[in-house]
Amino acid sequence: MTRPYNFSAGPAAMPEAVLQQAAAEMLDWQGSGMGVMEMSHRGKEFMSIAATAEADLRELLAVPAHFRILFMQGGGLAENAIVPMNLSRGGVVDFVVTGSWSQKSAKEARKYAAANVVGSNEADHHTTLPSPAGWRLSSNAQYLHLCSNETIHGVEFHELPDLKALGSDAPLVIDFSSHVASRSVDWSRVGLAFGGAQKNLGPAGVTLVVVREDLLGHALSICPSAFDYKTVADNASMYNTPPTYSIYMAGLTFQWLKAQTEGALTGIAAMEAKNMAKARLLYDFIDGSGFYLNKVAKDCRSRMNIPFFLRDESRNDAFLAGAKAAGLLQLKGHKSVGGMRASIYNAMPLEGVQALVTYMRDFEQTQA
Ligand code: PMP
């Protein structure tokens, strides 16, 4: 059976091989007589699943030894509160606002700290990225937060800022929910990265946090124990019952990612090359068309989330109905932006993007 191509922004399509393996192991994980959902998180079977997932992720993303990997709950939005509760010390924190997600983060942080917006692309309707050289950094900021890929507006930092070079010792916090594991991360520039799993890592329910060890142990006294990074780290993410099945599925996804190849490249480097090729195909088609339009500046276009418009928006419903009939699902844009959005995460094969481009070309011709 060939399945339709699913362009959902999240929860999003998963690699088919991962779904098939999970199905095969549903009733009996590796001769244990138990499905993964039925295992104690303290038993040796699940402990080995979690330890393997963590080790595979560390290898895949080349996470240095002085960073801890945490599997938490609450998603990206809970991290908007958990990060300031752990890192702000009740002081000043800086935000770069580049779209809906960083905007939400700054608003939530104000409950716990004095949040300054030091850079913004609001004047450009979130279609550009403000250059780090122009950020007005606070001298006493406990950290600087940015969203490295804005899922709704489709802008992505292709290079993370070097805060030290800007004269700041503040750790950089990134929300990498919607492009985690799509490319490598320069950990020398990062203090903490967080992301929900439901786009590129697995099903909803688990939130990945990668945090530099020296940032642990400074939580505000009001911080719930289950959300104190130090407590979570000291208990190997098992202070309370973790989202076991989501961790298992993420672990299968990490193995799938490790097995990726592209020419001589493997793992994340292979995935990154595939993602660049997929994004290039779609952007080149849109840019070459007089019928479709992408409004994001070329140097900061997301490789994962590609919002686009039909120049004649009265054709939107026909476009979406035709797409669905052609096996191309969930292309409707976010309501705050309108138009269309193709999310082409790791699990989307090149063939899916080719099918989308073919459909878009055919649709344009039928409208002539
Ligand atoms: N940050 C980004 C960049 C996102 O794309 C999302 C979800 N779309 C969130 C945060 C919120 O994540 P959650 O729904 O898991 O809280």
Q: What mean pLDDT is reported for the chain?
A: 97
- Pocket residues for ligand 1 (CB within 6 Å)? 10, 75-77, 101, 147, 151, 175, 177-178, 196
Kindly state whether residue 4 falls inside one of the protein's structural domains.
no
Burial class of residue 274 (count of CB atoms within 10 Å of its CB; 0-12, 13-18, 19+): buried
61: domain range?
A: 17-257
Q: pLDDT confidence of 323, banded at 50, 70, 90? A: very high
Contact in structure between 186 and 161 (CB atoms under 8 Å): no
Please tell me the distance from the alpha carbon of residue 151 to that of residue 23, in angstroms, as a whole number: 29
For ligand 1, atom 15, the nearest C-alpha belongs to 75
Please tell me the distance from the alpha carbon of residue 307 to that of residue 340, in angstroms, as a whole number: 6
Percentage of residues of the chain with pLDDT beyond 70: 100
For ligand 1, atom 10, the nearest C-alpha belongs to 76
Residue 77 Cα: closest atom of ligand 1: 16
Residue 151 Cα: closest atom of ligand 1: 5
Kindly state whether residue 11 falls inside one of the protein's structural domains.
no
- Contact residues for 161 (Cβ-Cβ < 8 A; gap 6+): 132, 135, 146, 172, 189
Q: Where are the alpha helices (DSSP H) in the chain?
A: 16-24, 44-60, 75-87, 100-109, 229-234, 244-258, 267-287, 316-325, 350-366
| pLDDT, tens only, 285-300 | 999 999 999 999 999 9
Domain boundary among 204, 224, 257: 257
Contact in structure between 137 and 165 (CB atoms under 8 Å): no
Which one-letter DSSP state was computed for residue 13?
A: -
CA of 220 to the centre of ligand 1 (A): 24
Q: pLDDT confidence of 63, banded at 50, 70, 90? A: very high
Q: pLDDT confidence of 1, banded at 50, 70, 90? A: low
pLDDT(16) > 90 = yes
CA of 76 to the centre of ligand 1 (A): 5
| pLDDT, tens only, 220-256 | 999 999 999 999 999 999 999 999 999 999 999 999 9
Main-chain dihedrals φ then ψ at residue 307, nearest 5 degrees? -80, 140
pLDDT(178) > 70 = yes
Which one-letter DSSP state was computed for residue 58?
A: H
Task: Give the pLDDT of residue 2.
Answer: 84
- 159 with 46, same domain: the answer is yes
pLDDT(368) > 90 = no
Kindly state whether residue 89 falls inside one of the protein's structural domains.
yes
Residue 207 Cα: closest atom of ligand 1: 15
Task: Give the pLDDT of residue 365.
Answer: 96
Amino acid at 231: T
The pTM is what? 0.98
Please tell me the distance from the alpha carbon of residue 286 to that of residue 284, in angstroms, as a whole number: 6
Task: Give the pLDDT of residue 300.
Answer: 98
- 234 with 316, same domain: the answer is no
Catalytically annotated residues:
101, 175, 199
